[in-house]
Structure 1
Amino acid sequence: MRPLDALEQTIRERADAARQGDGGKSYTVKLLTGPLEKLCGKVTEEAGELVEAASEQGDEGRAHFVYEAGDLLYHTLVLLRRHGVDLAEVEHELARRFGISGIEEKASRAK
């Protein structure tokens, strides 16, 4: 199982536990059940930290960039779960875009 699939499964299990009132002290459960604005704020924060880390040089900068990418992916997966969206749906959307220029795809959404 790919790490992203395993993480998605863990988040799904936490969501199920939260629905049953058994979330414990899970950070994931707090994100899933707390105010949507807080979770969205975390995604925004992590995206900003990733962008900042992108300018860091050397091995330490690269390691920090990878770390922040992991944080952003985690929080994005939690946000997807909160909306009932599986990673496979996003993968299908990305696959749909193969062979379509980015300019054409963007123009098709503007109509």
Structure 2
Amino acid sequence: MNAEIIKYDEKGLVPAIIQNAETGEVLTLAYMNQESLNLSIEKGETWFFSRSRNELWHKGETSGNTQKIKEIIYDCDQDSLVVKVIPQGPACHKGTQSCFTEKLYENKETDSAVRPDAAFLFELESLIETRKKTMPEGSYTTYLFNEGVDKILKKVGEEASEVIIAAKNRDHGELSWETADLLYHLLVLLQEQELPLQEVLSVLKKRHAEKE
């Protein structure tokens, strides 16, 4: 990549959208100057320019939540970037996978639109993560986290048994329902263990690649 073609604003900055290279989730919006962009390319990890501190900063330098860069692309005007990364932990300083967790507007009329349903697993993971941090009263997810790992493990075992029974009954409706319950409780378990779903999927992808 020829970084010289990037156009910076009057403050010498260019906006950079940080995106999970494997899931497509937008993680954060940051800014780079020419030096931080060059460092990012040289080191293979994200470096930014802090507008509030007026200094360069290496993402994850203190937290350990670095971002390995897979690809950097720029727009047609050459004045904004998309940085696709493999995150080594939460992107947000609040501890969430993405800085974008609060919903400002939702158009219910688009609910029936076609979309990659598998991406909903990451949406659900993010919601469960938020529940764990905020622990809203009356939430079943809050109840599970309050009860602790033993209760969560018990529910995973129960739902796995229900999946087996549904499969033996050859009942697709029942099997779909029980599998959904199992997936939900597995996501709760992963959050309790602080293990991102993406790590599990990475293992699956690695196994698949090894068999190709």
RMSD over aligned CA atoms reads 1.4
What is the CA–CA distance in structure 2 between the aligned matches of 1:35 and 1:4, rounded to whole Å? Answer: 22
2:127 aligned residue: 10
Residue equivalent to 1:107 = none
Larger RCO, structures 1/2 (Cα 8 Å, 6+ apart): 1
Tell me which stretches of 4 or more aligned residues in structure 1 moved more than 3 Å: none
In 2, the alpha carbon distance for the partners of 1:39 and 1:29 equals: 11
**Structure 2 stretches lacking a partner, 5+ long:** 1-115
Provide, for residues 59-104 of structure 1, a one-character-per-residue CA deviation record: whole Å limited to 9, x for no partner: xx10100110000000000000001111111111111112446xxx
Report what 1:37 is aligned to.
150
Residue 103 of structure 2 corresponds to which residue in structure 1? none
The residue type equivalent to 2:186 in the other structure is: T
Secondary structure at 2:195's aligned position in 1?
Answer: coil
Which region of structure 1 is more displaced relative to structure 2, 9-18 or 92-101? 92-101
Structure richer in strand, relative to its length: 2
CA–CA distance in structure 2, aligned partners of residues 94 and 32 of structure 1? 27
TM-score (norm: length of structure 2): 0.42
Q: Which has the larger radius of gyration?
A: 2
Structure 1: runs of 5+ lacking an equivalent = 102-111
The DSSP-based 3-state class of the residue aligned with 1:98 is helix
Q: C-alpha distance in 2, partners of 1:52/1:33?
A: 29
Instruction: Looking at secondary structure, tell me which structure has more helix per residue.
Output: 1
How many residue pairs get aligned? The number is: 94
